[in-house]
Structure formats: structure tokens, C-alpha cells
Amino acid sequence: MERLSTSLPRRTGVTAVHSLHRFVFTVPDLEEAARFYTAFGLDVRRDGQRIDLYTFGHPHRWGSVYRATGPKKLQYLSFAAYPEDLDPLKRHLDTLGIHTTEPHPLADETGVWFRDPDGTAVQMLDAPKASPDTKESSEPRIVPPGKGAAPSRSAAGTVRPRRLSHILLFSSDVLRSARFYSDSLGLRLSDRSADIIAFLHGAHSSDHHMLAFAKSEGPGLHHSSWVVPDVDEVGLGMEQMVAAGFCEGWGVGRHVIGSNYFRYVRDPWGSFAEYSAGIDFIPADVEWQAADHPLADSFYVWGPPPPDYFVVNQEIAARGA
């Protein structure tokens, strides 16, 4: 894997979480969840009453899915910090008046627990850094003149994402949520579009965003985003999921904010898993200049228009049904 830039392991003099450690949600049908994420190309492992989401060749557990009656529901987020930062971050919560809570009932790791303004449980713990320290190459394959440049579909194999890039949540107040996670965890605003959508990165080097928020009536998981090597893998991933029966989604296209190529695949509960290539990277020694982008730039540079169901918060819709 080609590395295009290097970065310091942490931003000097800044106390903040370094990674999105894990996302956890529940669904009514665990077997269907296993089928979806296996088809997507993840290393899906059964552990008792849950499935865990890994990527092949990487030791980190990026997500966990449990079975529960009712609609799909985001249960909690977990963020990791360097060991020397955990106690200062906990004391900082106290100065902000953010009260710690008991661990989430589904928690299987110790840490500091609290809730965000939408009521979502948040964990903070000491764990190894999972966010990237360098930008990964996502350029198209370089082929000398006189040879075909396109990959072979017949020999393409299974698309297997390398790692989790970010998650996007629905929020009843996007700017309030962005401020809360910036104030409490030290995440930094990357970019936004009015009060419709906002993107946050890690201070100690990360993708353009490890966490994002989109406006809705309340909380919910919109999508998880998974890194693949290049735009060809994005397209091949789309074909892979169509062949598995998961045809609904959005893309292939390219975002303005974050710059990545994308294909969103709709899961059986109305949220999405994204194949992503070429997302912008923010090193620890770079001060990214956040911008308020026009609404026309909040979705994409090119690609098909997003389907109507793309912006529906199914966790809220299911409760109102």
C-alpha cells in the first residue's frame, strides 16, 4: 500500500481522542445483518449473541451488532484516547458539566461513559490508535501506453474494505452536536454546510472526518463508511452487492466535502454502508481551514441524484409508524 504523506503520531500540546473506536447497534434479525456485511466484504465474526465487524487483515473490531426486537437502533459510540489523555479528558467533562453515566448494558469494555445532547451513549477509553497516520494512495492503476488500463471483471475477486473511515449520524441539531463532540472529545470541525451537515476530524491525524452529522428529527445511524483502494473498487463493490441482492443505494459518485468517491449500499433496515476511496486526510501538524459550503456542494460533485430514501432517518420513521 503506497503512503503519500507522513504525520506526527499526535498533535503537540493537544488533549483529545485519537480514533473512532467502535460503533454498536441492534437489529431484529442478526442473520440478515451477517449476510449483508459478509456480502459487503467484511470479516464478520460471531461472538455469542452478537456479530463483530472486522476487515480482513486488520486486528481491530470496528463495530458490533446485537439482536433486539423492534427497529434498528444505534446503541452507542466508542472513542479511543492515548492513555495519558484519558484522565485529563475525564476531568474536562467535569468542567463542562457533563455527567458520567453507568456503562451501556451492551458494553464489553471498561471506560468513561456519558450521553450526547440527543441521548446517544458515548464511551471514551484507552485503546490503540485505529485512525490513519498517513494518507493512503487511491489513484487509478498506472498502466504504460500500449496496455489496457481497466481491471478484469472476470478476475476481480471479492472487494474487501481495508478499514472503517467514519460514521454519519442523524441529529436534531447538527451544530449543537458538532460543538458537543468538539468540546467534550477534542474533535475538530472539518467542514459544514449551513446547519444541514457537519464533519469532524481527529486532532491527532485522521481522515477528513471520523464523525459527521446530518439534520433530522432525532438521532440515528445513517451510514458507516469503509475504505477501499480506488474508484474501481468502489464500482466493483457496487456490482458485488447487486449480485448479492442489495441493489438499492446511491452512486457511484464523488463528494465535494471530503473529496472521496462513493457508493452507498442500503441495508435491510434503511441505513447504509459506503464503499469509499480517496477521502481527504488531515495530518496532526496541519491546521485544516473549515468552510461553510454552499448547499449544492453538500452532497456531491458528480453522480446520479440521491434517491428520496437516502435522507430518511429510519430510526425515527419506525418509531412514528
pLDDT in tens, 272-291: 999 999 999 999 999 999 99
DSSP-derived secondary structure letter, 270: S
Q: Which residues of the chain have pLDDT under 50?
A: 1-6
Measured N-to-C along each axis, helices 83-96 and 174-185 cross at an angle, to the nearest 10 degrees, of 130
pLDDT digits (tens, 9 = 90+) for 98-120: 999 999 999 999 999 999 999 99
What is the pLDDT, as a whole number, of residue 123? Answer: 98
- Tell me what pLDDT residue 319 has: 66
| CA–CA distance, 63 with 55 (Å, rounded to integer) | 10
CA atoms within 13 A of residue 223's CA, in its CB half-sphere? 20
Per-domain residue ranges of the chain: 19-131+162-320
- Nearest in space to 64 (alpha carbons), one of 39, 82, 42, 80: 42
What pLDDT does 10 receive? Answer: 85
- Strands annotated E in the chain: 19-27, 43-47, 50-54, 63-67, 73-81, 112-115, 121-126, 163-171, 188-193, 197-201, 206-207, 211-215, 220-227, 249-254, 261-266, 272-277, 281-282
Nearest partner of 23 among 225, 182, 293, judged by Cα: 225
Distances (CA, A) of 87 to 7, 83, 125, 183: 25, 8, 10, 16
Question: Which residues lie below 8 Å from residue 208, measured CB to CB, with a gap of 6+?
Answer: 190, 191, 199, 201, 257, 258, 259, 260, 279, 280, 281, 282
pTM across the whole model? 0.94
pLDDT score of 237: 98
Q: What is the pLDDT of residue 8?
A: 60
Contact 259, 279 (CB under 8 A): yes
Are 92 and 17 within 8 A, CB to CB?
no
- Tell me what pLDDT residue 138 has: 62
CATH class of domain segment(s) 19-131+162-320 = alpha beta
Question: Given this model, what pLDDT does residue 6 score?
Answer: 45
Nearest to 51 by CA among 69, 38, 39, 70: 38
Please give the pLDDT value at position 3. 39
With contact defined as beta carbons under 8 Å apart, do 222 and 72 qualify? no
Give the pLDDT of residue 132. 93
pLDDT at 9: 74
Residue 317 has a pLDDT of: 76
